[in-house]
A and B are shown apart, each in its own frame.
Chain A
Amino acid sequence: MTGLVSFLAAALCLFTIGIVGALTRRSAILVFLSIELMLNAANLVFLAFARYLGQLNGIAFVFFILAVSAAEAAVGVAIVVAFIRRRRTTNLDAANLMKW
């Protein structure tokens, strides 16, 4: 049977895969997509607990997270495009201007 724990375990797996992707990929686009994956795993936890507690607050949070992440995706894609234009590469190691 599927209950709260199954959904939490699925969200945990997806979050970990996302964090491993964000740490190991080089391409700016794929790091961006890995971060989106982590965001979605967090959404799944919100919804699982909303269903478990029978409250609408978790659903409202996921709704606002969806709106903010749409905005974040637009700005993030614009930043990636500007970065690729200036540096002629998608490699994130080229973004070293503010690196210590």
Chain B
Amino acid sequence: MMTIVFYVAAFVAFAGALLLVFHRRPLVSALGMAATMLAMGAFYLLLHVPFLAFFQVIIYAGAVMVMALYIIMALGREEPGPDVTLRQSLGALLFAALFLFALVRLLRSAGSVEFRKALPDFGSIREFGNVLVSHYAVPFEIASLILLAAMVGAVVLSRRNWE
């Protein structure tokens, strides 16, 4: 059961990511990215962190993708400029080769490392909340400052006459 869900999610994630990278129309690319984000949520469910799966769907498939789609629809429907240059494709090929090398090494070195049976409260929101407000209390407070700064920064940056 878990295996089937994993492979379906992986298929959706790769298909969406490939759409993002290779489709000519930016709108379709962004929708592919949204599918990938939903599949990532399924991965998170398989890894026993359901609340992060919800956050993933709300923040990425919801907020970030809506903002990106808004910009594409309002301002950037067309992909501008000429096609991929030689230098760009050489860089991409380099990273693809590096990827193949790493993938082969990964599959050969470890074989298949199974997950042990999870503790009953692993990934529960109660357990995680305890850690968050005790061990990670200071980063938690700093995160609120970062969000405030980002909010102010976004408003300042998108003023109409900002010079």
Q: A27-B76, A63-B132 are in contact. Are A12 and B106 (CB under 8 A)?
A: yes
CA distance A41 to B14 in the complex (A): 12
CA distance A74 to B33 in the complex (A): 17
CA distance A69 to B149 in the complex (A): 13
List chain B positions with a Cβ less than 8 A from chain A: 2-3, 6, 10, 13-14, 17-18, 20-21, 26, 29-30, 33, 36-37, 40, 43-44, 46-49, 52, 55-56, 59-60, 63-64, 67-68, 71-72, 75-76, 78-81, 84, 88-89, 91-92, 95-96, 98-99, 102-103, 106-107, 110-116, 118-119, 122-123, 127-128, 131-132, 135-136, 139, 143, 146-147, 149-151, 153-155, 157-158, 160, 162
Per DSSP, are chain B's interface residues mostly helix, strand or loop, or mixed?
helix
Q: Are A16 and B96 in contact (CB under 8 A)?
A: yes
Q: Which residues of chain A are near B136, meaning CB under 8 Å?
A: 60, 64
Q: A48-B47, A93-B81 are in contact. Are A21 and B106 (CB under 8 A)?
A: no
Residue count of chain A within 8 Å CB distance of chain B: 71
Q: Are B20 and A34 in contact (CB under 8 A)?
A: yes
Q: Are B17 and A18 in contact (CB under 8 A)?
A: yes
Per DSSP, are chain A's interface residues mostly helix, strand or loop, or mixed?
helix
Per-residue CB proximity of A38-76 to B under 8 Å, as 1/0? 001001100110111010110110111011111111110
Q: Which residues of chain B are near A51, meaning CB under 8 Å?
A: 47-49, 115, 118, 122-123
* Smallest Cβ-Cβ distance to A28: which chain B residue: B76
